[in-house]
Structure 1
Amino acid sequence: MNTELRALSASEWDAWFGCVELAFGGVPFSPESREMYASLTEPRRAIGHWDGAECVGTAGAHSFRVTVPGGAAVPAAGVTMVSVSSTHRRQGLLTSMMRRQLDDVRAWSEPLAMLTASEPGIYGRFGYGAATTETKLRIDTTRAGLALPPGTDGVRVRRSSPARALAACEAVYARLAADRPGTPLRRPGWEQLPVNDPESARGGGSPLQCVLAERDGEVTGYVTFHVRPAWEEAGPRGTVAVRDLAALDPASYAALWRYLFGIDLTTAVECSNRPPDDAVLRLVTDVRRCEVRVRDGLYVRLVDVAAALEARGYRTPVDVVLEVEDAFCPWNEGRWRLTAGADGTVTCRRTADEPELALSAADLGAAYLGGVSLTMLAGAGKVRELREGALASAALAFSSDVQPWCPHGF
């Protein structure tokens, strides 16, 4: 490896981002998307490999706070823009960037790192575990109806432009983000992401549209979407492509779905990323008319095991000794006693006591947000129970009433 790894300077951003574009197929981002990502990049938290004047490797880390079980907002590095030039593969560039980045995150006292992966097989060796799933839906609205809850008729829906509605939509997002593990709290500037609407990203659809749900003059929900017109000999076959949908109560939620089902000249509603426990699957009258595909979502890495485990809440009291394997971040290796009391106090301390559960850092990351059961991981041979009964009690304590979900990439 004959390259230099260093932090990014603001003047190098174009070359750095150009490496990202090339690694992801070479199709340039739209000017508006480039401007947005340039504004969101934190240069001191971005690194690159340089071969002379050419950038050949990239990795960034947004400074996020993410909701965890129990409702706390925990500092987390949002790992992004990871790429290696095809001319420099198998030379250790990715490993060196992951090493530098996790060392930096530890120095920043951020107990978590998280990312969404372009390919799921890449990041496990660096201690990341798949902690959330996302659901892709296609609903045949000609054959599936909606069983609406009481109060739906009392909700007003009205059209707005995404830009005019932005503040109201962000207020709804912020209220919901505090209740769902895995959801990043949006920092200033990130409100640009849900309304960024380059023509190249519309899939042949309309410009981004927005509809608000209101009750007593208060915005209680919103949906943004594109309409993709299509026609067959027998008539219209348009599709409503939902980008974001969120609501504060069941009636507002149902009113937004009723609006989507009723858009003229369309026969289907598509969603590319919905939570795994999305209530729409209980609203539809015929779930067999819903094509459902589940895929991996957010990957989580515990950078500081003790701080991360102490930052979240637990569903039930628990006292368990974990033996953690973590070759890539050896400061996490060893035995940790995790104790969560009925009063909400949590401690995680090194111990010489006999271990009761053994697992890798990647599998601890997968279980961290409460959506991946320790019992399921044990069934796959990834968690070993060393004391009878330890698995059941820990699995219940780690679980979450609300399924974790990350509503957007970064």
Structure 2
Amino acid sequence: MTIELRVLRPSEWDDWFGKLLLAFGGVEEPQEERELWGSLTEHERSIGAWDGDDCVGTAGAFSFGVSVPGGAMVPAAGVTMVSVAATHRRRGVLTSMMRRQLDDVRRWGEPLAVLTASEPEIYGRFGYGIATQQMSAQIDTVRGRITAPQGADAVRLRFAEVADVAAECEAVYVRGIGSRPGMLARKPGWERLPLLDPPAERDGASPMQCVVAEREGEIVGFVRFHNKPEWEAGGPSGTIRLRHIEALDPVTYAVLWRFLFDIDLTVRVVVRNRPVDDPLLHLVNDVRKLEVRVRDGLFVRLVDLGAALEARTYRTPVDVVFDVDDAFCPWNAGRWRLTGDSKGASCKRTEDDVDLALSVRELGAAYLGGVSLAALAGAGRVRELRQGALAEASSAFISDVAPWLPHGF
């Protein structure tokens, strides 16, 4: 069997995307969603695997900037739409696409590749490490409550049509991108993604509603949600399904959550994706009413190891030599000396004695500051060869706030 890998041609997109959907079960997406992904696809950064006239593999890469500790936005390839036809499994199609893609990312001069995974175990062998987590929760809003913070009276809430305030809400989101590692700077067009609201995906809930928070006439926060009315013998038991919540300051954030808790005829709020250190955990009167779960979020792959480690800052001074194993991208393998602090960093090749031995996967996991090198060492994935080096590096890599990916791609 001969499989041809080639850059996606615009005329091939419908077939290519259709084969992607088939690999994920064959359920068609709503037309507006399909059209959006069609407009966002960067054909020159996408590849298809072809067996004759049949598309049997797909992989794309969006152009993003990823926020890192220190606030810089690092160019990254957002790996997406990866699939292999069920008829062509275990024939090296995925490996060949990952090989081609990482070579391309290196050629494009982007230090990072990032992705979200349908099956997390797949991508470790290609050097991707789980760098962020996301919190979901089902909140009991009958027994749980949020006390009004000082200054709440200065915040005015009002309902608004989603489309009418879309630009103002996007501006609030953009202002917060550098507040946490892991957030994405996106090309024009992506502001349409959070506005998608196909009726088939509401599961009996209302169309998306929007409430904006204003202070002195300026929109300083917003919340988008669905309201699903439900009734039991004992009375109303409706559910609020949160889509997005953003605020420019802690008071506004608390006021928006208090609003969600107080909506009439509802007894719960369902949250799908918030940071694991979300202030909500400290706003609610009883954290047990949140029923929190945590799962993986963004996977990070260092494509240009030196450039990536130099692009971020470090919480405490660090001077360590890594011996890095990277069989899939061998240009990263070997010894690197990282020196840095909160003002900047240098990462260069060296022949000095090794302090820590690890694979590029562990560096990817620790890169955004949400996973400690010490924890990875506890799992046997980092080896300390100089006493004290592990504590030094682990402390330096950690971020003050948990990294977070606000949305998938």
For normalisation by structure 2, the TM-score amounts to: 0.99
**Once the two structures are superposed, what CA deviation does each residue of 1:70-122 show, in whole Å capped at 9, x if it has no partner?**
00000000000000111111111000000000000000000000000001111
The code of the aligned residue for 1:34 comes to R
Q: Distance in 2 between matches of 1:55 and 1:233?
A: 53
Indicate the SS of the match to 1:75.
strand
Q: Distance in 1 between matches of 2:196 and 2:53?
A: 31
Are the counterparts in 2 of residues 327 and 333 from structure 1 also a CA contact under 8 Å?
yes
Residues 2-401 of structure 1 aligned to structure 2 (within 5 Å): 2-341=2-341, 344-401=343-400
**Once the two structures are superposed, what CA deviation does each residue of 1:191-236 show, in whole Å capped at 9, x if it has no partner?**
0001011112223211111111111111111111111121111111
Are the counterparts in 1 of residues 47 and 60 from structure 2 also a CA contact under 8 Å?
yes
Q: Which runs of 4+ in 1 moved over 3 A?
A: none
Shift of 1:260: 0.7
Mind listing any 5+ residue stretches in structure 1 that lack a counterpart?
Answer: none
**Which shifted more, 213-222 or 363-372?**
213-222
Indicate the SS of the match to 2:145.
coil
Shift of 1:163: 1.1
Q: Distance in 1 between matches of 2:372 and 2:201?
A: 36
Q: Distance in 1 between matches of 2:315 and 2:269?
A: 36
Shift of 1:356: 0.1
Indicate the SS of the match to 1:62.
strand
Shift of 1:148: 2.7
The code of the aligned residue for 1:119 comes to E
Are the counterparts in 2 of residues 57 and 84 from structure 1 also a CA contact under 8 Å?
yes
Shift of 1:24: 1.0
Are the counterparts in 2 of residues 273 and 407 from structure 1 also a CA contact under 8 Å?
yes
Indicate the SS of the match to 1:348.
strand
Are the counterparts in 1 of residues 313 and 341 from structure 2 also a CA contact under 8 Å?
no
Are the counterparts in 1 of residues 312 and 344 from structure 2 also a CA contact under 8 Å?
no
**Once the two structures are superposed, what CA deviation does each residue of 1:333-390 show, in whole Å capped at 9, x if it has no partner?**
0000001146x23111000001101111111100000000011111111111110010
Shift of 1:23: 1.0
Q: Distance in 2 between matches of 1:148 and 1:294?
A: 27
Q: Distance in 2 between matches of 1:109 and 1:377?
A: 29
The code of the aligned residue for 2:314 comes to Y
Mind listing any 5+ residue stretches in structure 2 that lack a counterpart?
Answer: none
Q: Distance in 2 between matches of 1:39 and 1:86?
A: 27
**Which shifted more, 298-307 or 172-181?**
172-181
**Once the two structures are superposed, what CA deviation does each residue of 1:158-204 show, in whole Å capped at 9, x if it has no partner?**
11112111111111111111111000012200000010111122232
Shift of 1:306: 0.1
Are the counterparts in 1 of residues 315 and 341 from structure 2 also a CA contact under 8 Å?
no
Indicate the SS of the match to 1:136.
strand
Q: Distance in 1 between matches of 2:204 and 2:327?
A: 47
Are the counterparts in 1 of residues 69 and 181 from structure 2 also a CA contact under 8 Å?
yes
Are the counterparts in 1 of residues 159 and 210 from structure 2 also a CA contact under 8 Å?
yes
Q: Distance in 2 between matches of 1:393 and 1:148?
A: 41
What is the count of residue pairs matched by the alignment? 409
Indicate the SS of the match to 1:122.
helix
Q: Distance in 2 between matches of 1:170 and 1:134?
A: 21
Indicate the SS of the match to 1:123.
helix
Are the counterparts in 2 of residues 148 and 283 from structure 1 also a CA contact under 8 Å?
no
1:408 counterpart residue number: 407
Shift of 1:51: 1.7
Indicate the SS of the match to 1:14.
helix
**Once the two structures are superposed, what CA deviation does each residue of 1:10-66 show, in whole Å capped at 9, x if it has no partner?**
010000000111111111011100100000000000001112222111000001001
